[in-house]
A and B are shown apart, each in its own frame.
Chain A
């Protein structure tokens, strides 16, 4: 039981993520989390403004069900399957983040400096979350997929477009991490 409650190593987690993808493929579907953003816009009536949202959202209910499950899974994992151990980050990562003003590095899943209500309810805090979310939503739909659809499923299917998208993910991620984060938080 202790092993279940501790963080799971990559060689357990990675294969289990592959299993998620393979199960969805075996069920005749695919593993793509960002499609749900398009479906949700469609349900919200966005079809009035763009043909992109004119889709039969009922055909995507299975994927919204996966999302609902994922939320429940997040709850179950933190409530019943965690021992509260800190994330075993590289010491260098921790010291760099300390220098950027992050103080409880690895003690929680997300930094309170970005996600606590105290941080969120400031102009800078809310801007960070809104800009980050907007970029993710816009970028993933432009690229036609996110980490699940391109990095896991697309690469597993040896698709060149997915490799190009993943290279893009890294260009953006490296620019943000090396150049922009120090400007925002430094």
Chain B
């Protein structure tokens, strides 16, 4: 039962991303061509509300259902890993037209060739794990 709420959030997430068309390759292309406000509106409004509510959570010391005060663990400091990793990710995102969330969701919409992309993403993750200590971070 403790997983039910996560299943429901996942279902909701999947529905929202399909209905928003954020899972569409075409929308990603259009975004990177700056030919529509659609994706920027989605990300911009999500982040604006996110900033507001995370700030409110912290200000009023809201506790999570686990009982702890809400505080997001900050990412490690650094520049190289974020700019290089981010650029590699961006190349793949614009080619596949899908980032990790949409990859799973699109399988649910019946596009099973996406499983090849997911398998390749697992391979990429595995390769990163092998090279992690040799890469600049």
Contacts and interface: CB of A to CB of B under 8 A. Distances in A.
Interface in A117-155: 117, 120, 126, 128-148, 150-155
Interface of A is mostly: helix
Given A66-B13, A106-B26, A164 B79 contact: yes
- For A74, A165, A180, the residue with the greatest tally of chain B CB atoms inside 10 Å of its CB is A74
B46 to A, nearest CB: 4
Category for how many chain B residues contact A: 35 or more
Nearest to A170: B90
Interface in B95-116: 95-101, 103-111, 113-114, 116
A148 B47 CA distance: 10
Contact of A136 (B42, B77, B93, B135): B93
B34 to A, nearest CB: 9
Contacts, number: 497
A27 B65 CA distance: 5
Interface string B110-124: 110110111111111
A11 B49 CA distance: 11
Interface in A67-124: 67-78, 81-82, 87, 89-90, 92-93, 96-97, 105-106, 109-111, 114-117, 120
A135 B94 CA distance: 10
Number of chain A interface residues as a range? 35 or more
A69 B10 contact: yes
Interface of B: 3, 5-33, 35-47, 49-51, 53-54, 57, 62, 64-68, 70, 72-79, 81-101, 103-111, 113-114, 116-130, 132, 135
Q: Which 5 residue pairs are nearest across A and B when measured between Cβ atoms?
A: A168-B86, A69-B10, A73-B14, A172-B90, A74-B108
